[in-house]
């Protein structure tokens, strides 16, 4: 991944932070990988070593599928691998999640909340609506109304 040199610079968010966050986001982009990371962390916390074979048994996936998921977690920096004989032992690097969360906080828009469109504000999602099913769910019909309110001069393509 290449970040353009003429992109606006933000001292709080450097290229290394962005690349690390992208790798971790990719690693966490599948529910099974999140479950595997959690499982490995729990086993490590209980001072148990986790191998690929353990994960094949725990998750009932083929060895190849487990290896592919583990590979993404290793590339993202969320797992450390140590070889012991013919086995690979996996250890969760939970500190990487803290770093990831800190990087995501740097993305947050700062300034006057009135400048942020309503549909992007956390209060909108938290307020929810009693009949929507999920609190804070954004429906397509809501977006058109919100977009009209927040961007009155925007061109309409529909």
- pLDDT (0 to 100) of residue 130: 45
pLDDT digits 0-9 by tens, 113-147: 555 556 555 555 555 544 444 444 545 555 455 44
Spatial distance between the Cα atoms of 99 and 14, rounded to a whole number of angstroms = 13
- pLDDT (0 to 100) of residue 104: 85
Look up tokens 């956390």; give the residue.
Answer: 122
DSSP annotation of 157: -
Query: What's the pLDDT band for 112 if we cut at 50, 70, 90?
Result: low
Cα angle 134, 139, 141 (rounded to 5 degrees) comes to 150
Structure tokens that stand for 15 in this block: 């290229």
Which pTM value belongs to this model?
0.63
Can you list the domains of the chain with their CATH numbers? 15-98 (1.10.10.10), 110-150 (no CATH)
Spatial distance between the Cα atoms of 133 and 139, rounded to a whole number of angstroms = 11
Spatial distance between the Cα atoms of 55 and 61, rounded to a whole number of angstroms = 8
> What is the three-class DSSP state of 90?
strand
pLDDT digits 0-9 by tens, 26-66: 999 999 999 999 999 999 999 999 999 999 999 999 999 99
In whole angstroms, how far apart are CA 51 and each of 13, 48, 97? 36, 10, 21
User: Which residue, 53, 63, 61, is CA-closest to 84?
Assistant: 53
- pLDDT (0 to 100) of residue 37: 96
Q: Which of 46-60, 78-92, 95-109 bottoms out in mean pLDDT, i.e. has the lowest?
A: 95-109
The span from the first CA to the last CA of the chain, in angstroms, equals 34
Structure tokens that stand for 38 in this block: 């959690």
Residue 129: CB partners within 8 Å, gap ≥ 6? Answer: 135, 137
In whole angstroms, how far apart are CA 49 and each of 31, 64, 74, 90? 22, 20, 16, 7
């Amino acid at each position: 991944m290449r970040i353009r040199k003429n992109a606006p610079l933000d001292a709080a968010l450097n290229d290394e932070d962005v690349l690390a966050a992208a790798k971790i986001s990719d690693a966490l982009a599948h529910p099974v990988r999140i479950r595997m990371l959690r499982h490995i962390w729990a086993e490590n916390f209980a001072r148990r070593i986790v191998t690929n074979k353990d994960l094949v048994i725990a998750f009932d996936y083929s060895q190849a599928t487990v290896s592919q998921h583990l590979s993404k977690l290793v590339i993202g920096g969320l797992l450390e691998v140590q070889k012991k004989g013919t086995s690979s032992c996996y250890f969760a690097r939970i500190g990487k999640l803290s770093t990831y969360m800190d990087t995501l906080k740097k993305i947050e828009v700062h300034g006057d909340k009135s400048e942020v469109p309503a549909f992007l504000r956390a209060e909108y999602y938290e307020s929810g609506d009693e009949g929507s099913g999920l609190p804070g769910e954004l429906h397509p019909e809501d977006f058109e109304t919100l977009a009209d309110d927040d961007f009155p001069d925007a061109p309409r393509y529909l």
